[in-house]
Amino acid sequence: MQKSILITGGAGFIGSHLVRLFVKKYPDYKIINLDALTYAGNLENLKDIENEHNYQFIKGDITDPATVGRIFANHNIKGVIHLAAESHVDRSIANPLEFINTNIIGTVNLLNAARMQWKDDPKNHLFYHISTDEVYGSLGNEGLFTEQTPYDPRSPYSASKAASDHLVRAYYHTYNLPVVISNCSNNYGPNQFPEKLLPLAINNIFNNREIPIYGKGENVRDWLYVEDHAAAIDLIFHKGTIGETYNIGGLNEWKNIDLIKLLCSIADKNLNRKEGASEKLITFVKDRAGHDKRYAIDASKLINELGWEPSVTFEEGLQITVEWYIKNYDWIKRVISGEYEEYYNKQYGI
Ligand code: NAD
Ligand code: DAU
């Protein structure tokens, strides 16, 4: 029987890049994409592979045990790569319960189904949980998050992800469920929903709309091109050690304000605007509540043990990203046609 891999959240930003990679690279696997198609999920992201023989989409909610149970009963699921989540910090501040439901209850449903289905042969299976560096909390000016950094989540989003990480480890220790976890830094690239900093800024630049920067723009994030995250997930899925955690990061720290200035200058060149035109749109706005100061990842375990390295420099990745959004402006227009404007007005008070 064909080896089936269940990828949850495959219609989202990172999930769609991962599904594409697996469908193309592993013709012998059957890739099942389970996604509820929330505001952040979009099948258009997978148009180019939707008819491949080894791909199947199932619309369903991970918080529903019956849906999840049926998928495990009907398919020979050998591995799970679990990305489905509510993923935006600002939305978690406005509405924490949705994050608790999807990120914690949804993860437990998947863990329960895997545990029941795999109990007689745990060795030949793997539950891979995709998590975030935000579980480690906030750094000062010095230091990096390692796999040993104690958890200290500070937003409802990161607390819900931390809880799900703990539960995944609990199933490993208590039920011998074969698990692996990775915690990644900020991703950027094509197909990211324009509520996150970079695509929001790109969209606003296109529309000559103010670019909102929280506080003084001094918070620091470590940016990684989304396809390099997908490549790391591939490596960890196939070569990672069961029970282990791997940090994934870009070795690429930027203050938000410097990042947006660089973006503006790349955008000016690509849009044939006068140098400095987009930068004028930068507007400092009220800070995010509990805004984590700095994230930075020590990825040496992944680099030294599994041989991973990023494939593009940040300048290359940003250039590819800006070009993609220019070429796919209709994609942005379609994804923001729903509740986006209402969200935007509530979030930014405009
Ligand atoms: P995203 O918001 O773009 O996509 C999430 C996907 O999950 C969407 O397709 C959505 O429809 C689906 N989904 C949401 N609730 C669901 C439910 N109840 N049942 C089934 N599907 C549901 O998220 P992303 O940025 O691609 O992040 C993917 C994963 O990676 C998340 O677990 C996130 O915590 C983690 N992560 C993200 C980043 C980042 O920078 N974006 C960094 C590190 C880790
Ligand atoms: O670190 C990994 C995490 O990165 C992921 O787990 C999350 O899913 C992902 O959303 C991201 O979280 P951040 O909160 O770091 O990303 P965001 O794009 O929302 O914000 C990046 C930085 O930019 C942060 O310091 C807040 C700031 N910001 C964000 C927005 C949306 C602004 O200054 N203005 C904005 O309008």
297 lines ligand 1 (CB under 6 A): no
Distance 294 CA to ligand 1 centre (A): 22
Percent of the chain with pLDDT over 70: 99
Residue showing tokens 């940016």: 223
Rg of the chain taking only CA atoms, in angstroms: 20
Residue 188 and residue 317 in contact, taking contact as beta carbons nearer than 8 Å: yes
Give residue-wise pLDDT tens across range 5-22.
Answer: 999 999 999 999 999 999
Question: What pLDDT is attached to residue 1?
Answer: 55
pLDDT band at 163 (very low <50, low <70, confident <90, very high): very high
Question: What pLDDT is attached to residue 268?
Answer: 97
The number of the ligand nearest the C-alpha atom of 224 reads 1
Q: Return mean pLDDT, the chain.
A: 97
Q: How much of the chain is helix, strand and coil, in % rounded to 5?
A: 45, 20, 35
Distance 347 CA to ligand 1 centre (A): 20
Residue 209 and residue 35 in contact, taking contact as beta carbons nearer than 8 Å: no
Question: What pLDDT is attached to residue 338?
Answer: 81
pLDDT band at 251 (very low <50, low <70, confident <90, very high): confident
- Measured at the CA of 333, the angle between CA 87 and CA 49, to 5 degrees, comes to 70
In the DSSP assignment, the letter for residue 294 is B
How do the domains of the chain map onto residue ranges? 3-188+223-248, 197-220+253-292+313-340
Pocket test for ligand 2, best of 98, 134, 197 (most atoms within 8 A of CB): 197
Burial of 56-73, coded b for 16+ CB within 10 Å and e otherwise, reads ebbebbbbeeebbeebbe
pLDDT above 90 (res 250): no
Question: What pLDDT is attached to residue 152?
Answer: 98
Atom of ligand 1 nearest to the CA of 38: 11
Mean pLDDT of 273-284: 97
- CATH pick for 3-188+223-248 out of 3.40.50.720, 3.40.50.1100, 3.40.50.300, 3.20.20.70: 3.40.50.720
Can you tell me the distance from the alpha carbon of 289 to that of 219, in angstroms, rounded to the nearest whole number? 13
pTM surpassing 0.75? yes
13 lines ligand 1 (CB under 6 A): yes
pLDDT above 90 (res 103): yes
Give the distance from CA 183 to its chain's centroid: 10
Distance 166 CA to ligand 1 centre (A): 18
Distance 112 CA to ligand 1 centre (A): 20
Task: Rounding to the nearest 10 degrees, give the CA dihedral for residues 56, 58, 64, 69.
Answer: -40
Backbone angles phi, psi at 255, to 5 degrees: -70, 140
Domain 197-220+253-292+313-340 of CATH type 3.90.25.10: yes
pLDDT band at 350 (very low <50, low <70, confident <90, very high): low
87 lines ligand 1 (CB under 6 A): yes
